[in-house]
Homo-oligomer: A and B are copies of this chain.
Amino acid sequence: MAVYTDVTDEELHAFVAQYDIGSVLAFKGIAEGVENSNFLLHTEAGYFILTLYEKRVNPAELPYFIGLMEHLAAAGISCPTPLANLDSETLGTLAGKPAAICTFLNGMSVRRAKAVHCQGLGNAMAEMHLAGADFTMHRKNALTVDGWRPLFDLSQDRADEVCHGLAAEIERELTVLEERWPRDLPVGEIHADLFTDNVFFLGEELSGIIDFYFACTDAFAYDVAICLNAWCFEADDSFNVTKARALLKGYSSVRPFTAAEFEALPLLARGSALRFLLTRLYDWLSVPEGALVTPKDPMEYLKKLRFHRHVTSARDYGLALGDVVA
């Protein structure tokens, strides 16, 4: 839930007047997105989402995020489409903060994904990867292997408060991943945060992907690995191979994996599990005493990491090499 900034009527009317969408009929804060303030904006032209970019998003990176959404939407990917104002700008300023108006996307995130949702996700992710190929801007992934040790340094001393032996286990894992991390996989624009919150469905049909504020230029297969973690484990932390198979099959039916990608998947899945373990661990240890918001449990990702460590081949994710590679 997120509405961090108050917007006055005058500011709102002046901002919306820069667009060709008529006057404002309604404006309500909505509980969507964690990093930014999001509002439902109803104007004479219809319903939109207005986003105010709060301080966790670096303003210098907004042209990349907004540009990527514009590019993907133009290529037919269902994602929020930033509206251009009368000066052809998609990024403006409201209440002293960067702001954009995007199309309203129908659909809802699923709480309990079924295999059919995973397959749809695989399809859409592969289409998104292909559609991004001719996007000319790039952004380094700040949360890939090079960024993990500095992040770990912030929590190392207190990691064992969460689970005995955790610091040593992360240290060993980091060393392995730094040594073996694949550097030559096919690269492009990836979403990098395709959790269920960020994918909308209408029934079993995927209707859109939102929240591109972790998007970056990195290995396509790393995006797939993030989804294996985010979509293919059950509430009891057991791996659901049926969902993984559907995800990989859905992906490869649009963009077949290379053999190197297929081989790298277990390691990428370990890396992605470590990435979310590290950010959750940091948030867990940083939360102020008595805060109302409970941070997400880092242990969930430790269990996922351990699962992938015992995976001997991507075959354990439910598909043979020949099924998914071109």
- Assess whether A28 is in contact with B24, with CB atoms less than 8 Å apart: no
Does A60 sit at the interface, judged by CB under 8 A? no
- Assess whether B108 is in contact with A27, with CB atoms less than 8 Å apart: yes
Residue of B nearest to A28 (CB): B30
Interface residues in A3-38 by Cβ distance below 8 A to B read 3, 6, 8-9, 12, 23-32
Chain A interface extent, by class? 35 or more
Interface residues in A81-129 by Cβ distance below 8 A to B read 104-108, 110-112
Q: Which of A23, A28, A106 has the most CB of B within 10 A?
A: A28
Does A289 sit at the interface, judged by CB under 8 A? yes
**Residues of B with C-beta under 8 A to A106:** 25-26, 42
Does A235 sit at the interface, judged by CB under 8 A? no
**CB of A200, distance to nearest CB on chain B (Å):** 8
- Assess whether B111 is in contact with A25, with CB atoms less than 8 Å apart: no
Does A162 sit at the interface, judged by CB under 8 A? no
Bound Cα distance from A42 to B42, whole angstroms: 13
- Assess whether B40 is in contact with A202, with CB atoms less than 8 Å apart: no
Q: Which of A30, A107, A112 has the most CB of B within 10 A?
A: A30
**CB of A290, distance to nearest CB on chain B (Å):** 3
Take A3-B31, A28-B31, A290-B289 as given contacts and tell me if A9 and B111 are in contact as well, using a CB distance cutoff of 8 Å: yes
- Assess whether A32 is in contact with B28, with CB atoms less than 8 Å apart: yes
Partner of A30, one of B40, B105, B110: B40
